[in-house]
Amino acid sequence: MQLEKYKIQQHNDDLLKGHERRLSYITSEIENSEAIIQKVVDFQIAIPSWALGTGGTRFGRFSGGGEPRTLEEKIEDVGLLHSLNQSSGAISLHIPWDIPQDAKAIKALAAQHGLKFDAVNSNTFQDQPDQALTYKFGSLQNVNKAIRKQAIEHNIEVIKQGIELGSESLTVWLSDGSCFPGQLNFRKAYQNTLESLQEIYAALPDNWKLFLEYKAFEPNFYSTTVGDWGQSYSYVQKLGNKAYTLVDLGHHLPNANIEQIVALLLMEGKLGGFHFNDSKYGDDDLTAGAIKPYQLFLIFNELVEGMDARGMNHATDLGWMIDASHNVKDPLEDLLQSVEGIMMSYAQALSVDRKALEEAQNNNDVVRAQEILQNAFRTDVRALVAEARLRAGGALNPLELYRSQKVRENLIAERGLKTVATGL
Ligand SMILES: [Mn+2]
């Protein structure tokens, strides 16, 4: 399904008066609002190909209707999101869930929707039907050299697929670890993983980046071989200057200070990318900003401060992606909400009075520092984010337009009620 431009235009015309009223108030309140709007226009968040269908837990999966059945339909869905918010201009593929049969045609289809290919993701946390050896006891860490080799070759194959699509980064997430004490020699598991990563790294084109994602626990419940940012940092340091740590918000132990992690990785020049989601208990993969919006704001506050300190381009120097699972919501509606939540946190972080904050910090004025941050967080910047969408050609209220155009009903009519997208 495609959303015609005139429908977006009509929707915007209907909402314009109220929008302009709110915008004029907020621009009078925030000094640098024009610069914020432009930065929000430029900021794009990749949508992973596995987030377009209904997700599941290990207890069950309740599919929604009209889910994309093919890679082509997944691209159409991301194209639809992008036409609504003009902020989802990239898709991230998971191999082998989404292997393009004809890379040229897929690339052309994506370009038609204004989409680029973000990082490609390898998968050695599941066995595939035609796979010779099992990853039950790990992949890159495995005690069996033949299994490690199989996993290395898979990653190299994913790089090749990515080159065909114009992708420029590989994300490696390993479920490797152990479930019980004594199962694993930690040092040997680390060494095997490092050597395997070195072989994968050697296959990276010069202009590529390797992102090493960490996760505290699950599916292994005693140890994880890339379990936290320190372990990921230790690997990427040894790999070289094309290797970076990737932060997934849901992959920390409860109450971890993610904003501090982000600040230090940025300082070391080793923060490569981001996976957005939110959680209450663990790796819940909920809508970004749904549970802890203040934390998301504080993370963006460090991102903006740290990227500016290094003269980085906010939009292009780090990889931004949503990594969420939608068990009870329409996945497309959930993704629209996530992007909105991310953009609001970003806009709020951009509005922080940096000079005043630095002054407060230098004077140990704790109260003033808190006031500055909370003032930014408590300011309603939705009109700034909406204005960015309007200028980019998107909808003032994407979710409202999605519903009024009965997008899901149309997708069900096109694809059927009982479709299941590949993914988790
Ligand atoms: Mn992730």
CA of 35 to the centre of ligand 1 (A): 30
CA of 186 to the centre of ligand 1 (A): 23
Delimit the domains of the chain by residue range: 44-343
CA of 187 to the centre of ligand 1 (A): 25
What's at 24, amino acid-wise? S
What's at 309, amino acid-wise? A
| Strands 177-178, 209-213: pairing kind | unpaired
CA of 342 to the centre of ligand 1 (A): 16
How far apart are the C-alpha atoms of 290 and 422, rounded to whole Å? Answer: 25
Whether the Cβ atoms of residue 33 and residue 27 lie closer than 8 Å to each other:
yes
Kindly provide the residue ranges of all beta strands, DSSP E only, lying in 216-366, ordered along the sequence: 223-224, 243-248, 271-276, 319-322
CA of 319 to the centre of ligand 1 (A): 12
Whether the Cβ atoms of residue 7 and residue 404 lie closer than 8 Å to each other:
no
Torsion angle defined by CA atoms of residues 120, 124, 127 and 132, in that order, rounded to the nearest 10 degrees: 100
pLDDT tens per residue across span 72-112: 999 999 999 999 999 999 999 999 889 899 999 999 999 99
E strand or H helix at 57, and its extent? strand 56-57
CA of 223 to the centre of ligand 1 (A): 18
CA of 375 to the centre of ligand 1 (A): 31
CA of 398 to the centre of ligand 1 (A): 25
CA of 229 to the centre of ligand 1 (A): 13
CA of 133 to the centre of ligand 1 (A): 25
Task: For residue 322, list its beta bridge partners.
Answer: 276
Query: b vs e for 50-66, b when ≥16 Cβ sit within 10 Å of the residue's Cβ?
Result: bbbbbbbeeeeeeebbb
Q: If we measure between CA atoms, which residue out of 45, 89, 96 comes closest to residue 71?
A: 96
Whether the Cβ atoms of residue 310 and residue 269 lie closer than 8 Å to each other:
yes
Mutual angle of helices 5-29 and 33-42, in 10-degree steps: 140
CA of 321 to the centre of ligand 1 (A): 9
CA of 316 to the centre of ligand 1 (A): 19
CA of 2 to the centre of ligand 1 (A): 29
Whether the Cβ atoms of residue 322 and residue 290 lie closer than 8 Å to each other:
no
How far apart are the C-alpha atoms of 323 and 229, rounded to whole Å? Answer: 18
pLDDT tens per residue across span 146-162: 999 999 999 999 999 99
Write the CB contacts of 256 (distance below 8 Å, at least 6 apart in sequence): none
Q: What is the 3-state secondary structure (H, E, C) of 90-104?
A: EEECECCCCCCCCHH
DSSP notation for 95-132: TTTT--SSHHHHHHHHHHTT-EE--EE---SS--TT-S
CA of 48 to the centre of ligand 1 (A): 10
What superfamily would CATH give domain 44-343? Divalent-metal-dependent TIM barrel enzymes (3.20.20.150)
How far apart are the C-alpha atoms of 388 and 269, rounded to whole Å? Answer: 29
Q: What residue spans of 99-228 are helical by DSSP H?
A: 103-112, 145-165, 186-202
CA of 213 to the centre of ligand 1 (A): 7
How far apart are the C-alpha atoms of 278 and 323, rounded to whole Å? Answer: 10
E strand or H helix at 19, and its extent? helix 5-29
Q: What is the pLDDT of residue 245?
A: 98
Q: What is the pLDDT of residue 260?
A: 98
Q: What is the pLDDT of residue 56?
A: 75
CA of 353 to the centre of ligand 1 (A): 32
Q: If we measure between CA atoms, which residue out of 249, 247, 246 comes closest to residue 287?
A: 249
Q: What is the pLDDT of residue 57?
A: 76
CA of 44 to the centre of ligand 1 (A): 17
How far apart are the C-alpha atoms of 64 and 52, rounded to whole Å? Answer: 10
CA of 361 to the centre of ligand 1 (A): 34
Sequential pLDDT tens for the chain (424 residues): 889 999 999 999 999 999 999 999 999 999 999 999 999 999 999 999 999 988 877 788 888 899 999 999 999 999 999 999 999 999 999 998 898 999 999 999 999 999 999 999 999 999 999 999 999 999 999 999 999 999 999 999 999 999 999 999 999 999 999 999 999 999 999 999 999 999 999 999 999 999 999 999 999 999 999 999 999 999 999 999 999 999 999 999 999 999 999 999 999 999 999 999 999 999 999 999 999 999 999 999 999 999 999 999 999 999 999 999 988 999 999 999 999 999 999 999 999 999 999 999 999 999 999 999 999 999 999 999 999 999 999 999 999 999 999 999 999 999 998 877 766 5
